[in-house]
């Protein structure tokens, strides 16, 4: 039996703009959320219910984790005190992937909360309303993908025409509207353009010395010179080597526009979906409508010079002296720590090479010692937490057989569902028999899917644990033992890189003179397994 409206109940309103709403507002159609709020208030008056709270989402996010107001709404309805949520369309609730849609549907169903729209009132606990609701979310996802695809196609078309599609302009330019046409292009800012030319000149030809000769400057030296001259970048107080690198490699300064310089990938991190941006070497480049600042021959000479002068931790005529080279990163700025001689004695220290970073250095030998201790503790903890291979294997086999059985059962259920439709069309089943039969089969399908999902997750976890236990941990233990008996610095470095992604180093307090070897720093190690933090 469907749930009915309770005039004295608690009702919330959820408001969110769609991309189409923003486009309509740009054409002068008025503020969308205010208009929707008024319409839902009128709907509440018509239904004889009172609105207790408004939830207004002003950020655009594809997933639940990107929409904090929706998270608050779901949390507030989860206790079952809310009778219904008013929304303009069910599509406003979710356009994420199927897992997000399932999460939202589950919250409303378990809390027995109605979804009230101007066109229909959905009761998630009613079988037919639930199917209609899920179908609506599915269609909204398809619509979202279609709209997104069209937008991307439009952006690519604009790039091919030489227009600037980014919301901000690079240093040296300002973004301006194209006259008598859609879209934007770039206009040179003369003062900033001179700085861009200076950066290219210092990197390619250098700075003139007192004897008349020119000395080339690296990215770090260019940063220091610009800071000393009182020239500030667009979005911070000081220049950084990465900013200089981006400027030197940006084709926009030779009048080009690019598509796909970075690509976005979705990855699972600790059970949550996160977007990771990665550089793409195979990006597309087109002639832009804007005026270049740098000549092409100068730009490509800089690219060739940068390629030939690629930084190497060891000069060609020298041997590696730092076993932690390329491993230890500054926890504050992300730079790789560099080995340097200590002026007071013959010991070497590791320090952050960034001149404006205040992370304090520490002796190389001490950092190496504490790193090995942390690795041994980490390894011991993992060995104790994993079952032995002979105890794990029978359980894996049992789970694999159970999964295969459930998958086979699910295939049979789908065939039974198709058969039920055939029997209805042939007149063998009456409408009531068909509905009862379909409901029974659908419930079995849901149960089978849930069981399969649970088994797949458990099996994946068991297989991963087995791989760690049987392969990675023994290898790691062996190479750590081997490390102690090796004299070659290069080989030690290779060993550590084989088991570590990187290590973050942080030291905030300088040592007293009498405690030079006191390890008052923090090492956060990132093995090629889950993260482990060691306070030393």
Instruction: Specify the higher pLDDT residue, 269 or 58.
Output: 58
For 517-525, the CB contacts below 8 A with 24+ separation are 517/363, 517/366, 519/362, 519/366, 519/370, 521/360, 521/362, 521/367, 521/370, 522/331, 523/367, 523/370, 523/371, 523/374, 524/331, 525/371, 525/374, 525/375, 525/378, 525/500
Instruction: Specify the higher pLDDT residue, 238 or 130.
Output: 238
Specify the pLDDT at position 418: 85
Return the ∠ at Cα 478 (arms to 326 and 533), rounded to 5°.
50
Tell me the pLDDT band of 27, cut-offs 50, 70 and 90.
very low
Tell me the pLDDT band of 174, cut-offs 50, 70 and 90.
very high
What fold, for 173-308? Hect, E3 ligase catalytic domain fold (3.90.1750)
Separation between Cα atoms, residue 342 and residue 69, nearest integer Å: 53
Mean residue pLDDT of the chain comes to: 80
Q: Which of 172, 170, 175, 169 is nearest to 192 (CA)?
A: 172
Encoding tokens for residue 414?
């789908």
Specify the pLDDT at position 532: 40
Cβ(532)–Cβ(378) under 8 Å? yes
- Show the beta-strand stretches assigned E in 81-211: 84-86, 114-116, 121-122, 173-177, 184-188, 207-208
Q: Which of 501, 503, 499 is nearest to 476 (CA)?
A: 499
Strands 348-351 and 362-363: antiparallel
Encoding tokens for residue 117?
């729209």
Encoding tokens for residue 228?
């000393």
Separation between Cα atoms, residue 204 and residue 512, nearest integer Å: 44
Tell me the pLDDT band of 29, cut-offs 50, 70 and 90.
very low
The pLDDT > 90 percentage for the chain reads 21
Cβ count near 532 (within 10 Å): 17
Specify the pLDDT at position 270: 55
Instruction: Specify the higher pLDDT residue, 274 or 45.
Output: 45
Q: Could you tell me the residue ranges of all domains in the chain?
A: 11-159, 173-308, 328-385+484-535, 389-471
Tell me the pLDDT band of 461, cut-offs 50, 70 and 90.
low
Tell me the pLDDT band of 391, cut-offs 50, 70 and 90.
very low
Domains 11-159 and 173-308 in one fold:
no
Specify the pLDDT at position 345: 55
Indicate whether 151 pLDDT > 50.
yes
Tell me the pLDDT band of 478, cut-offs 50, 70 and 90.
low
Cβ neighbours for 422, distance < 8 A, ≥ 6 positions apart: none
The model carries a pTM of 0.44
What are the backbone angles phi and psi of residue 339, rounded to the nearest 5°?
A: -80, 135
3-state secondary structure of 163: coil
Cβ neighbours for 213, distance < 8 A, ≥ 6 positions apart: none
Cβ(399)–Cβ(458) under 8 Å? yes
Determine the average pLDDT of the residues in 216-225: 89
Of 207-211, 234-238, 378-382, the range with the lowest mean pLDDT is 378-382
Indicate whether 86 pLDDT > 90.
yes
Q: What would the pLDDT profile of 91-122 be if each residue is shown by its tens digit?
A: 777 766 667 777 888 888 888 899 999 988 88
Tell me the pLDDT band of 31, cut-offs 50, 70 and 90.
confident
Q: What would the pLDDT profile of 225-270 be if each residue is shown by its tens digit?
A: 999 899 999 888 889 988 999 999 999 999 999 988 777 766 655 5
Determine the average pLDDT of the residues in 387-408: 69
Separation between Cα atoms, residue 37 and residue 442, nearest integer Å: 38
- Return the CATH class of domain 11-159: alpha beta
What are the backbone angles phi and psi of residue 156, rounded to the nearest 5°?
A: -65, -40
Separation between Cα atoms, residue 247 and residue 192, nearest integer Å: 12
Encoding tokens for residue 378?
């980490």
Alpha helices in 386-488 (DSSP H): 389-425, 431-467, 473-483
Determine the average pLDDT of the residues in 381-399: 55
- CA 151 to the chain's CA centroid: 21
Q: Which of 398, 405, 413 is nearest to 451 (CA)?
A: 405
Q: Which of 106, 93, 121 is nearest to 9 (CA)?
A: 121
Side-chain-side CA neighbours of 435 within 13 Å: the count stands at: 5
Tell me the pLDDT band of 50, cut-offs 50, 70 and 90.
very high
- The secondary structure of 38-83 as a DSSP string is HHHHHHHHHHT--EEEEEEE-S--SSGGG-HHHHHHHHHHTTS---
């Amino acid at each position: 039996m469907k749930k009915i409206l309770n005039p004295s109940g608690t009702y919330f309103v959820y408001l969110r703009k769609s991309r189409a709403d923003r486009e309509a507002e740009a054409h002068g159609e008025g503020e969308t959320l205010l208009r929707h709020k008024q319409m839902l208030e009128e709907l509440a008056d018509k239904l004889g219910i009172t609105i207790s709270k408004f939830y207004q989402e002003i950020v655009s996010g594809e997933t639940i984790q990107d929409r904090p107001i929706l998270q608050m709404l779901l949390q507030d309805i989860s206790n079952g005190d809310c009778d219904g949520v008013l929304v303009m369309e069910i599509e406003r609730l979710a356009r994420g992937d199927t897992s997000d849609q399932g999460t939202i549907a589950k919250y409303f169903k378990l809390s027995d909360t109605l979804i009230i729209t101007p066109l229909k009132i959905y009761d998630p606990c009613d079988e037919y309303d639930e199917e209609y609701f899920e179908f609506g979310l599915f269609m909204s996802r398809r619509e979202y993908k279609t709209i997104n695809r069209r937008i991307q196609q439009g952006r690519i078309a604009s790039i091919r025409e030489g227009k600037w599609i980014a919301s901000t302009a690079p240093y040296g330019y300002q973004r301006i509207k194209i006259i008598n046409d859609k879209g934007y292009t770039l206009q040179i800012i003369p003062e900033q353009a001179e700085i861009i030319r200076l950066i290219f000149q210092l990197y390619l030809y250098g700075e003139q010395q007192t004897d008349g000769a020119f000395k080339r400057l690296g990215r770090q030296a260019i940063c220091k010179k610009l800071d000393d001259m009182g020239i500030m970048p667009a979005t911070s107080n000081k220049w950084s080597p990465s900013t200089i690198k981006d400027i030197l490699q940006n084709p926009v300064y030779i009048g080009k526009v690019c598509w796909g310089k970075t690509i976005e990938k979705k990855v699972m991190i600790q059970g949550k979906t996160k977007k990771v941006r990665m550089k793409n070497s195979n990006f597309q480049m087109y002639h832009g409508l804007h005026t270049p600042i740098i000549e092409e021959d100068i730009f490509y000479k800089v690219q060739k010079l940068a390629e030939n002068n690629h930084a190497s931790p060891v000069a060609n005529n020298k041997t590696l002296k730092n076993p932690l080279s390329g491993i230890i990163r500054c926890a504050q700025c992300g730079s790789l720590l560099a080995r340097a001689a200590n002026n007071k004695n013959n010991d070497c220290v590791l320090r952050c090479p960034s001149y404006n970073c205040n992370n304090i250095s520490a002796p190389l030998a001490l950092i190496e010692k504490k790193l090995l201790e942390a690795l041994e503790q980490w390894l011991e903890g993992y060995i104790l937490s994993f079952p032995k291979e002979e105890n794990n294997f029978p359980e894996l086999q049992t789970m694999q057989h159970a999964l295969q059985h459930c998958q086979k059962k699910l295939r049979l259920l789908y065939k039974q569902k198709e058969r039920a439709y055939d029997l209805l069309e042939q007149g063998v089943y009456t409408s009531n028999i068909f509905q009862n039969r379909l409901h029974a089969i659908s419930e079995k399908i849901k149960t089978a899917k849930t069981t399969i999902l649970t088994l797949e997750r458990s099996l994946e976890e068991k297989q991963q644990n087995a791989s760690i236990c049987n392969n990675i941990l023994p290898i790691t233990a062996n190479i750590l033992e081997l490390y102690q008996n090796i004299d070659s610095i290069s080989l030690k470095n290779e060993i550590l890189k084989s088991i570590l992604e990187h290590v973050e180093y942080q030291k905030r307090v300088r040592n007293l003179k009498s405690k030079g070897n006191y390890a008052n720093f923090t090492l956060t190690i990132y093995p090629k397994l889950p993260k482990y933090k060691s306070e030393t």
